[in-house]
Every structure is written in structure tokens, then in C-alpha cells.
Structure 1
Amino acid sequence: MILTSRPLSTLALTALFALSSLPFAASAQTQHAHVHGQIKLDVVVEGPTVVIEMGSPLDNFVGFERAPRTDAEKKAVDDAVTQLRAADHLFKIDPTANCKLGPVTLRSAALGMGKPDANATEGHADLDATFAFNCTNAAAAKFIDIDLFNAFKGPRQIEAQIASPQGQFKRTLKRPATRLSWTK
């Protein structure tokens, strides 16, 4: 569920539904994909908002996939959560869109954040997130510079689906690339 400061319009919900019906998303829903080193992003640019849905193995951010046991692991979790909540440093949307970070929602059953994941298996915990940005000209956005590779050691690849006024796109970023762009 996406939490924003205002309800999503029918168009935004339609875009999210369309993304979920693409073959890439359908296969992820059929078989809960859990690939170490990989992050999945769904990006919706609609009206005055850019919403980024992220799914990833917890290991990509903290180096393990369970509740933290030691002080060092607790610190790793605290550091990762702090970085993710400062999403405007991790996702730098095209400046022409003039976006400001809005609500951030983090979910991980292993970390006691959000509802338990029915698809989670022992030793394979995920971290999911929703990052909402409020913009004065979201439709002008043509790219997002993503700093996840620099901020965290685990990620090696980002699989992204984008629904924007310019169309629907699927992109892959591999370390060290950082720009997720879309145009026809």
C-alpha cells in the first residue's frame, strides 16, 4: 500500500496496476523472487507525485536476513534505516520536476517493521519500501539518479519499471551505473 499525503488518483492506481501486470512483475508475484544483490523498483510519475516502490533482500542493506542479534548488527540496521528514511539523498529526481521528499514507509518482518510477509521464508527476509515525492512539475522528470550502490555494499543490480507521462519502460542498472532514465 502506498501512503502519501493525499490519495492517489485513478491514473496513478491504474499505472501501478499496469506495472504489476507486466511479465517482470507477474513472475515476481508468482514466485517470490529473492535474489541477493538485486533491488526491484517500480516508479510511477503521475500528477504532482513521483512514487518509488522498492523490494529487496534485507541482506543488500545490512549484510544479513534476520533480526539483528549483536550490537554491531543493531547499529547496521539503525544506519540503514536512517539512510533509507533520507530517501532524497538516495533518489535524486530530475531537478526540472522540483520534487521534495514526502512520506517514507519501510516494511520488514525480520526488523519488526510493518505487517509480516506471508511469502517470507526462514533466512530469506526482505526489506520493502515506499518513497513518495511531491513535485511542482513531476511530468518533466526524465531521470532519477540513484545512490543505492554507493550507500550500501550489497546491491549490484537494479531492475526498474517506470510508468510516466512519456510511457512505460523497463530498465536495468548495474553497479556502478547510477542514472535511471526514461524517454521514448
Structure 2
Amino acid sequence: MTPGKPAVLFGLATLIGATLGVNAVFAQTQHAHVHGQLKLDIAVEGPTVVISMESPLDNIVGFERAPRTDAERQTVEDAAATLRAADKLFLIDPTANCKLGPVELQSAVLGWGKQATTAPADAHADLDATFAFNCTNATAAKFIDVGLFTAFKGPRQIDAQIATAQGQFQRTLKRPNARLAWGK
């Protein structure tokens, strides 16, 4: 490791932990999920951009249960691969010079992540994800082009909360608009 890298990794881990904690509180205060809508929480701090996503599983794979057929299992695998390639889904303002870092996917019904348990068959299943980007100039970012509408059929609206050193912003995207912009 290079000097300073442990501090950056610790800072990133702290930011991800704080974002997940905020998401847990936020999720507890929200109503049931709505098909076609998903939520993004974006934090731009220090050398990182962290994007947390909360979505009904139906938006991503077309159903809200464990896959039953080979075709459904393939759909889940394809969705996971698309989400893990988050640098293709979230094109951060090039002036920030960001590279994809850790990606965390969680879905109880799919057996992903810490919340992996057996969910009731009739449950409304969600998919939560955290995408971390390491940047040389994160605070220079003024927009993110979001590719979720083209990558997945289900999302029709994205509600985003963005926290940066310049302030906090709320934005809503509806098909076909894909750019989340903030600041001046």
C-alpha cells in the first residue's frame, strides 16, 4: 500500500457505513416501495462518490421472488453483472476523474448480502446496492449520467438525494432524462 491509502480506505469505509446507516433510517421512515420508482442517495465527500440505491427487485429483474427457472436465474445473473459494472451505469462528471471501487449488492430473496435470509413467498422484495467510486477530484463533479433507464426495463422514475460540500440537493429523473445535475 502507498502512504495515505489506509486513511483513504478507512474514510471510504466510514462513508459507506454512514450512508448505509442513513439508508436504514430512511428506509424505516418510508412507505412501501413503488414499482417503477427507485431511490438514489449520493454522497460526494473527500476523494469519493458513494451512490446508494434502493429499488423494488421487480424494477431490476422483472419479479420479486427467488428465480424459479433457468431463464430467471440467467436474468438475475445478468442484472448482477450489470450492477457490478457500475462505472457503465453511473457516468460521473469526467472532471472528477473517478474509478469504480467496491460494489455491494443486497437482496434477501436472492440470498445476497448481510440481509440474506429466507423471505416470505409473498413479500415485496427489494434490491439495495452501494457503489463506491474513488476520485482524484470528486468535489469537481457537477453531474452524473445515470444509465438505469436503459439498462433495466422497470425503472420509470428515480428520486435522488445528493449531498456535496456545495450543499444538499433533491432531484427527480423520469424517462428518458438521465442526467442528475447539481451545484452552480
In the other structure, the counterpart of 2:11 is 8
8 Å Cα contact 1:68/1:77 also seen in 2: yes
Q: Secondary structure at the match of 2:11?
A: coil
TM-score of the two chains, using structure 2 as the length reference: 0.85
Gaps in structure 1 of 5+ consecutive residues: none
The offset of 1:117, in angstroms, is 7.0
8 Å Cα contact 2:19/2:52 also seen in 1: no
In the other structure, the counterpart of 2:33 is 34
8 Å Cα contact 1:15/1:44 also seen in 2: no
In the other structure, the counterpart of 2:93 is 94
Instruction: For residues 159-181 of structure 1, give each alpha carbon's deviation from its aligned partner in whole angstroms, at most 9, with x where no partner exists.
Output: 00000011000110001100001
Q: How does 1:7-156 map to 2 (within 5 A)?
A: 7-8=10-11, 12=15, 16=19, 26=26, 28-116=27-115, 122-156=122-156
The offset of 1:115, in angstroms, is 2.4
8 Å Cα contact 1:19/1:163 also seen in 2: no
Gaps in structure 2 of 5+ consecutive residues: 1-7
Q: Secondary structure at the match of 1:161?
A: strand
The alignment of Structure 1 onto Structure 2 pairs a total of residues equal to 175
Counterpart AA for 2:11: L
8 Å Cα contact 1:43/1:163 also seen in 2: yes
Change (3 A) 1:167 1:15: farther
Q: Secondary structure at the match of 1:68?
A: coil
Counterpart AA for 1:123: A
What is the CA–CA distance in structure 2 between the aligned matches of 1:169 and 1:103, rounded to whole Å?
Answer: 24
Change (3 A) 1:50 1:71: same
Q: How does 1:160-171 map to 2 (within 5 A)?
A: 160-171=160-171
Change (3 A) 1:45 1:31: closer
User: Considering only aligned residues, what root-mean-square deviation do their CA atoms show, in Å?
Assistant: 2.7
Q: Secondary structure at the match of 2:9?
A: coil
What is the CA–CA distance in structure 1 between the aligned matches of 2:77 and 2:16, rounded to whole Å?
Answer: 32
TM-score of the two chains, using structure 1 as the length reference: 0.85
The offset of 1:158, in angstroms, is 0.3
Identical-pair percentage: 69
Q: Secondary structure at the match of 1:110?
A: coil
